[in-house]
């Protein structure tokens, strides 16, 4: 074997060894296997100068869905739980809600009726309960709520119901000079007050749905005032639009868990050059929840059928994760 070939072989071996070390040290909550290795191999290829898949740090953009990808979304989206609490607190000011859907179902505790109202009803609910205040006022309301709200099944704070393996993955990407963004169907103003503390992702790196706002001077002070109408829905085909509008670069890595993330993963993996897409499959009924094709929240149907055909990585929470949450 020539010296050049020997050197190439040693380089390849060292990269493989480095990958295995990185896999063990940086992603301790991920079980060793094909899923974990796929992540490590991708990061190694795009961050190793001279490799065929090398991507400059300025282009290493990674995007994560939030609900169901970074934290739990069952038995309902966290922001929906926030909206339901807001309905209860605002009902005395809106007696008409008792006769109008989806508010009537909320007040009656009719979850099936609420789900039957579909996306239109949920959007109306969020728009009506999140408006009528300044941006600063809403940030305080949302921040105070998330600091004290508890998950209905576990009784634990929602902020502790984040996925330890995904926290490790975010840190691992950052260590390899990725810029990490949240791209969620949830409200951008709802998430921004707490994402930096919970995930280490600053508010300027959060993309989400939004309601219409206007600028006005109130009591002599400039303010952004929130209006009861939807401006942008960052879900499904809206996610690539949100990325294009807010980030301005096509990601090289995208992480989701539902068909609402499909277009984001599809757009990411259609770029020229190396890319990576990952779907978190909720199949662990014992430690979390098991759901996919028929779920009202986080439905995963098309992604299951097409993901592997497209070369996307499908994570089994049951088989690929040693633990689900940071403290258990």
Does 193 score more than 50 pLDDT? yes
**pLDDT on residue 22:** 46
Which pLDDT belongs to residue 216? Answer: 96
Could you tell me which residues come within 8 angstroms of residue 207 by beta carbon, excluding any fewer than 6 positions away? 63, 181, 182, 183, 184, 188, 234, 242, 243, 246, 247
Residue 20 has pLDDT above 50, yes or no: no
- pLDDT, mean of residues 259-286: 97
pLDDT at 9 > cutoff 90: no
- Quote the pLDDT of residue 6: 42
Picking from 17-31, 188-202, 273-287, which range would have the lowest pLDDT averaged per residue?
A: 17-31
Topology of domain 28-75+152-320 in CATH is Rossmann fold (3.40.50)
Residues 26, 31, 34, 36: what is their CA dihedral angle, to the nearest 10 degrees? Answer: -20
Between the alpha carbon of residue 63 and those of residues 91, 167, 191, 317, the distances in Å are: 37, 13, 15, 20
pLDDT at 122: 77
- State residue 109's pLDDT score: 86
Q: What is the mean pLDDT of residues 189-200?
A: 96
The total number of residues shown for the chain amounts to 328
The predicted-structure confidence for 298-323, as pLDDT tens digits, reads as follows 999 999 999 999 999 999 999 999 99
Of the two residues 170 and 119, the one the predictor is more confident about is: 170
pLDDT reading at 13 higher than 70:
no
How much is the pLDDT for 194? 95
Give the predicted TM-score (pTM) of the model. 0.90
pLDDT tens for each residue of 56-113: 999 999 999 999 999 999 999 999 999 999 999 999 999 999 998 899 999 998 877 8
Under a CB-based contact definition with an 8 Å cutoff, are residues 246 and 232 in contact? Answer: no
Radius of gyration, alpha carbons of the chain: 21
Element (H, E) at 231: strand 221-232
Give the residue, 123 or 21, on which the prediction is more confident. 123
Domain extent listing, the chain: 28-75+152-320, 78-133
Position 63 scores a pLDDT of 98
How confident is the model over 55-70, as pLDDT tens digits?
999 999 999 999 999 9
Strands (E), 23-168: 61-64
pLDDT the model gives residue 119:
66
Q: Which two tokens stand for residue 84?
A: 């339901």
Mean model confidence pLDDT for the chain = 91
Cβ atoms 234, 208 nearer than 8 A: yes
Is a pLDDT exceeding 90 seen at residue 218?
A: no
Q: What is the DSSP string of 43-64?
A: HHHHHSTTSTT---GGG-EEEE
CA-wise closest residue to 274 among 51, 73, 70 = 51
- Measured CA to CA, the distance from residue 254 to residue 61 in angstroms comes to 9
138: left (phi over 0), alpha (psi -120 to 50) or beta: alpha
What Cα–Cα distance (Å) separates residue 125 from each residue in 31, 86, 148, 212, 271?
40, 10, 22, 14, 37
Q: What is the pLDDT of residues 141-157, one digit of tens each?
A: 999 999 999 999 999 99
């Amino acid at each position: 074997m020539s010296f050049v070939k020997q050197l190439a072989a040693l380089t390849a071996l060292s990269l493989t060894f480095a990958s295995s070390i990185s896999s063990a040290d940086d992603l301790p909550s991920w079980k060793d296997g094909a899923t974990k290795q796929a992540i490590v191999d991708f990061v190694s290829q795009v961050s190793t100068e001279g490799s065929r898949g090398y991507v400059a740090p300025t282009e290493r953009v990674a995007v994560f869905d939030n609900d169901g990808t970074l934290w739990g979304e069952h038995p309902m989206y966290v922001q929906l739980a926030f909206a339901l609490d807001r309905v209860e607190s605002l009902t005395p000011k809106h007696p008409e809600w008792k006769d109008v859907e989806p508010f009537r179902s909320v007040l009656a505790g009719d979850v099936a009726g609420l789900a039957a109202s579909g996306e239109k009803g949920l959007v109306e609910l969020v728009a009506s309960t999140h408006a009528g205040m300044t941006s600063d006022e809403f940030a305080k309301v949302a921040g105070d709520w998330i600091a004290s709200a508890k998950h209905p099944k576990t009784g634990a704070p929602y902020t502790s119901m984040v996925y330890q393996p995904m926290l490790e993955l975010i840190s691992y990407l950052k260590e390899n000079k990725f810029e990490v963004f949240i791209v969620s169907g949830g409200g951008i103003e709802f998430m921004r007050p707490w994402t930096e503390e919970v995930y280490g992702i600053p508010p300027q790196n959060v993309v989400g749905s939004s309601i219409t706002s206007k600028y006005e001077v109130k009591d002599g002070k400039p303010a952004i005032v929130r209006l009861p109408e939807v401006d942008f829905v960052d879900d499904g085909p809206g996610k690539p639009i949100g990325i294009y509008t807010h980030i301005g670069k096509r990601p090289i890595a995208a992480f989701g868990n539902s068909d609402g993330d499909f277009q984001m993963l599809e757009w990411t993996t259609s770029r020229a050059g190396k890319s990576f897409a990952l779907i978190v499959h909720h199949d662990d009924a014992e430690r979390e929840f098991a759901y996919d094709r028929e779920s009202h929240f986080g439905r995963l149907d098309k992604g299951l059928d097409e993901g592997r055909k497209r070369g996307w990585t499908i994570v089994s929470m049951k088989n690929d994760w040693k633990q689900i949450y940071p403290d258990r």
